[in-house]
Structure 1
Amino acid sequence: MNQWVVVTGCSSGIGYASLAPLKQAGYRVIATCRKPQDVERIKSEGYTCLLLDLDSQESISHCAEAIATLTEGELYALFNNAAYGQPGALEDLPVAALKAQFNTNLFGWHDLTQRLLPLMHNCGQARIVQNSSVLGFAAMKYRGAYNASKFALEGYTDTLRLELSDTNVRVSLIEPGPIETRFRANALAAFLCWITPDNSRHAQQYEKQIQRLEKEQSGSTFALPASACIPPLLHALKSERPKARYRVTTPTKVFAVFKRLLPTSILDKVLSKAA
C-alpha cells in the first residue's frame, strides 16, 4: 500500500491514537500538530509530522504545500480531527469567542480541505473523514459555541458528500460521544479565556462546569478511550462503501434514536439532565 493519509490534531486524543493503527494498516501517515514541540515529539516517534495552525491561513497554506510535495500530488485521505470545545452560556460569550471556535472547528477545516481536494482528485479513489460529535445533532447547555460549530460541520459534510458523489472522493462523519482525551483540559482553558463566572447569572452552574472540566477523567459510565474511534476510521478508509455516519459510544447511538422519535419538549428535558 502506498496511500498517504493526513491526520490533523495529533498531539493527543483521537488524532494521536490513530497514528499507530494507520501505520500498521499500511498507510503512509502525515500527522499535523499546532505546537512546534508536539511536532518534534511526533517526529521523534517515527512519524512524518507538519506544523498546522487552523486559525492561520498562512499556516494552512504552508502545510498544504508541504503535503503536496510529500505526496507528489496524490493524496488518498484526509482525517479532519483537530478541534476544541468552547464552554459557556451563549449570552456570556462574545462574538470573538464564537469566531475563534468556528475558525478552528470549521473554517480552518474548509480551507485545508479545499486546498487538498485537487490532490485527492488525482488519486484513483480518495476519502475525507470528518470527526464530528454527538453534539453535532443533539445540543446541550453551556456548549453552545461547540454545538453550533459541530451542527455546521454536519451540514457542511452532508453537502460535501453530495457534491462529490460523482467523483472518486467518498466522505464520512464520525460522531463520538464521551471519549477520554485532553478535551476537558483544553475546554477549561478556553472557558477561562472568555468567561468571567462571577459576573454571570450562570455563576452557580459555572462552578459545576469548572469542577467537571478540572477532572482528569470524565467519570462517565459510557466514556470510551480514544481507540474506540479507530475501527470506524479504518472502515471509512478501507470499505468500498463507507458509511455516511459512524456513531461511537452508547450516548451517541441513544440520542440519535431520541432525536428521531421524541417530541422536542421531551427531548429538551432529557438533554437538560444529560448536560
Structure 2
Amino acid sequence: MSLWVVVTGCSSGIGYASLAPLKAAGYHVIATCRNPIDVERIQNEGYQCVKLDLDDPQSIAQCAEEIATLTQGKLYGLFNNAAYGQPGALEDLPVAALKAQFTTNLFGWHDLTQRLLPLMHNSDNARIIQNSSVLGFAAMKYRGAYNASKFALEGYTDTLRLELADTHIRVSLIEPGPIETRFRANALKAFLCWVSPENSRHAEQYRLQIERLEKEQSGSTFALPAQACIPPLLHALNSPRPKRRYRITTPTKVFAFLKRVLPTLLLDKILGKAA
C-alpha cells in the first residue's frame, strides 16, 4: 500500500534534506516549495512537487486539492516545516511584521493542516509532525516575533494532539536547536525589510546581528547539519508510539532541562547572555 507524506518548505534545509531519506524508506513524497523555480528543480530530481505559498490562502487551497488528487484522498504523513525567522527587537517591529511572521509560521500551517486532515482521517494510520524550535519554549533577545510564533505553534500542536487522541492520527513536535541551513540568509532579508537599524537604540546589537546573519555558516560549536533532523522525523513516522517531542542539538536538551529546574529569574540571566 502506498503511504504518502507531504513535506513543506523543501527548497533547502531540513525540508530538502528529508526528501531522499523518506523516499529510501519507501514513502511516496510530495514536496512543496514557494518558488516555481524550486518546484521545477525538485520535480527534475524525480519527486512530486507542488507550489505552496503559505501567505496566500488561494495557493494553500490549490495545493491541498493537488495533494488530494495525487494521494487519491488518503494521506499518511504531513511534515509542516516551511517557516522563517523575523529578527529585531520587539519595540522596533511594526504590527505588520508580526502578522507576516504568524501568517507564514502558524496561520498558513493551520490552513493547510485543516484542509489535509480529512485525507488523514481516510488513512488507516496517519502522522502530523511539526517542526518547531528550541525557541518554541526558550525565548531569546531580538527573536521575539519568531519566539512568539513558535511558542504559539507548541500550544497549537499540544492542543491538536489532545483533540486527535481519539483518532488514529498521531502528532509530534520536532524541536531543533542550531541547524546549518539558509535560515540566516532568509532572516537577514526579513530584518532589513522591517527594521531601520540606524534609528534604534539597539543599533550596536543590530550591527553584530547583521554580521552573524551574513555568514554562510553559523560558527556555533553546537550546530548540526539538517540531516540531524531526519532520524527523529523517520521515528515519528515509523514508530507505533511516536514521541510527543523530539529535541535535537545540545542547546535544545540543555534549555529544556534548565526550564524545568530553574526559577525564571535565573533562567532569564542565562538566556539574556545567549547569542
- Is this a same-fold pair by TM over 0.5? yes
Q: Secondary structure at the match of 2:255?
A: helix
- Long gaps (5+) in structure 1: none
* 1:4 counterpart = 2:4: yes
Deviation of 1:2 after TM superposition, in Å, equals 1.1
- Long gaps (5+) in structure 2: none
Deviation of 1:130 after TM superposition, in Å, equals 0.1
Q: Distance in 2 between matches of 1:185 and 1:92?
A: 20
Indicate the residue corresponding to 1:162 in structure 2: 162
Indicate the residue corresponding to 2:14 in structure 1: 14
Q: Distance in 2 between matches of 1:41 and 1:202?
A: 40
Indicate the residue corresponding to 1:232 in structure 2: 232
Segments of 4+ in structure 1 off by > 4 A? Answer: none
Deviation of 1:140 after TM superposition, in Å, equals 0.1
Q: Distance in 2 between matches of 1:158 and 1:267?
A: 23
Indicate the residue corresponding to 2:254 in structure 1: 254
Indicate the residue corresponding to 1:62 in structure 2: 62
Q: Distance in 2 between matches of 1:19 and 1:71?
A: 17
Letter in 2 for 1:181: T
Deviation of 1:267 after TM superposition, in Å, equals 0.6
What is the TM-score with the length of structure 2 in the denominator? 1.00
Q: Distance in 1 between matches of 2:126 and 2:264?
A: 38
Q: Distance in 1 between matches of 2:82 and 2:258?
A: 28
Q: Distance in 2 between matches of 1:228 and 1:77?
A: 19
What is the TM-score with the length of structure 1 in the denominator? 1.00
Question: Percent identity of the aligned residues?
Answer: 83
User: What is the CA deviation profile of residues 125-176 of structure 1, one whole-angstrom value per residue up to 9, with x for unaligned ones?
Assistant: 0000000000000000000000000000000000000000000100000000
Indicate the residue corresponding to 1:123 in structure 2: 123
Letter in 1 for 2:15: G
| 1:1-275 to 2 correspondences below 5 Å | 1-275=1-275
Q: Distance in 2 between matches of 1:77 and 1:115?
A: 13
Deviation of 1:244 after TM superposition, in Å, equals 0.2
Q: Distance in 1 between matches of 2:99 and 2:248?
A: 28
Bigger Cα displacement from structure 2, 103-112 vs 259-268: 259-268
Letter in 2 for 1:190: A
Letter in 1 for 2:185: A
Deviation of 1:273 after TM superposition, in Å, equals 1.1
Q: Distance in 2 between matches of 1:114 and 1:169?
A: 13
What is the aligned length? Answer: 275
Q: Distance in 1 between matches of 2:197 and 2:253?
A: 33
Letter in 1 for 2:248: V
Letter in 2 for 1:72: Q
Letter in 2 for 1:140: M
